[in-house]
Amino acid sequence: MLHTLTRRTFATTVSKPSAFAGLRFKHTLPSLPYAYNALEPFISKEIMEVHHAKHHQTYVNNLNAAEEKLGSAFQVNDISDAIATQSAIKFNGG
């Protein structure tokens, strides 16, 4: 069910920002269950390293940054920032 977030809904939901303080955990990049060279000759070790250690890590870092920004928006009750941050969370978090 789609729910529209209005100023009133946001204000009543987030009226106590401290309730959200301990709920956020940093995301981490999981280790692969196989070596980077396990898929050779189909996918090279270098491609796997770049994709996992750089590209995938960037998504994880950006998701953590977006969630931190969202938490800051909740603390100051800034609905504009909270809404603006949603697209970054969806893009980086899936």
Residue 22: alpha-carbon gap to chain centroid = 16
Instruction: Give a three-class secondary structure readout of 25-76.
Output: CCCCCCCCCCCCCCCCCCCCHHHHHHHHHHHHHHHHHHHHHHHHHHHHHHHC
Q: What is the pLDDT of residue 16?
A: 53
For residue 27, the SS3 value is coil
CATH number of the structural domain 36-94: 1.10.287.990
Q: What is the pLDDT of residue 64?
A: 94
Q: What is the pLDDT of residues 43-72, one digit of tens each?
A: 999 999 999 999 999 999 999 999 999 989
Query: Is residue 73 over pLDDT 80?
Result: yes
Q: What is the pLDDT of residue 1?
A: 45
